[in-house]
Amino acid sequence: MNVDVIGVPIDLGANRRGVDLGPSAIRYGGLKKAITNLNIAYQDLGNIDVPIPESYDEYEDERLKHLDEIAYVNQTLATLVSKSLLDGNFPIVLGGDHSIAAGSILGTQSVLGNIGVIWIDAHGDFNTRETTLSGNLHGMSLAAAAGFGALEMVKFKAKDVNYVNPKKIVLVGARDIDDQEAKLIKESGITVFTIADVDEYGIKEVMLRALEIVSTDTEGFHISFDIDVINPNEAPGVGTPVDGGLTYREAHLAAELIANNKKLRSLEIVEVNPIFDHMNQTGKLAVSLICSMIGKRILGSH
């Protein structure tokens, strides 16, 4: 495996500043050393150039904040992810807020044609312009990648976008979903395992079911891992913490089960916000989770 790391220092999709520092926090947490210690070739492609909110005085649409800028970033990201895959490499995307998922998912989809997605997150991120309570696009990216809602986020080319089949999307760990968003999720056909399902069935059973869905009749799958799925006492450096999340070990078991499945094609880890962190605790956690997802084990690499 040859890894391509792509940083996306963006906080245009969120309502709390600081998540644009996430890629630096993860790199500073020892990402390069940790990956090369697994005997994996590491190439850092640097950061995508992202405008800052202070560049703009107002939004064109209060319900789709920074839409044009985020669409441009996603287009750039999709191109980089696609090139990485076409070069035979494994792209790892570092966020930044979760609006970038529209780019990373459809970059993978554009190469493979038919992917599954496991979305590990406290939130559904399945809002639309009509359902959003905030206008923040980091809460709309999964819906856009599946062909719902703010499709301007993902219309990168003149030809039709190949959206991800909702029946091949699984949301894991959800515990904070808006009412109208929940209705759209139910209608969409995606599979949801809430944190209550994790409590009832255990993270192993939930992940095995999720992996079965995304790896059956697909060309591979993408992992979108929002660090706020983890309990805030173990991952304090996030912008939208929600009590009652996955434990450290549950998150790592999920990551290890992902690595056991040989159809993982790309991944991203998002929403690390070092402004709210303690001694880069969350950045280091992100590094360890990435390594677990690409094969690290207690007794050596997988």
- Rounded-to-integer distance, Cα 11 and Cα 147, Å: 23
User: In this structure, are strands 90-95 and 41-47 parallel, antiparallel, or unpaired?
Assistant: unpaired
Strand partners, 268: 93, 224
- Rounded-to-integer distance, Cα 181 and Cα 187, Å: 10
98, 146 Cβ separation under 8 angstroms: no
List the strands of the sheet with 191-194, edge to edge. Answer: 41-47, 2-8, 90-95, 264-270, 221-226, 116-120, 169-174, 191-194
Written as six digits, the tokens of 141 are 């990216």
60, 47 Cβ separation under 8 angstroms: no
Catalytic machinery residues: 98, 121, 123, 125, 138, 226, 228, 271
Residue with tokens 């992996």: 211
HSE-up (13 A, CA, CB side) for residue 158: 0
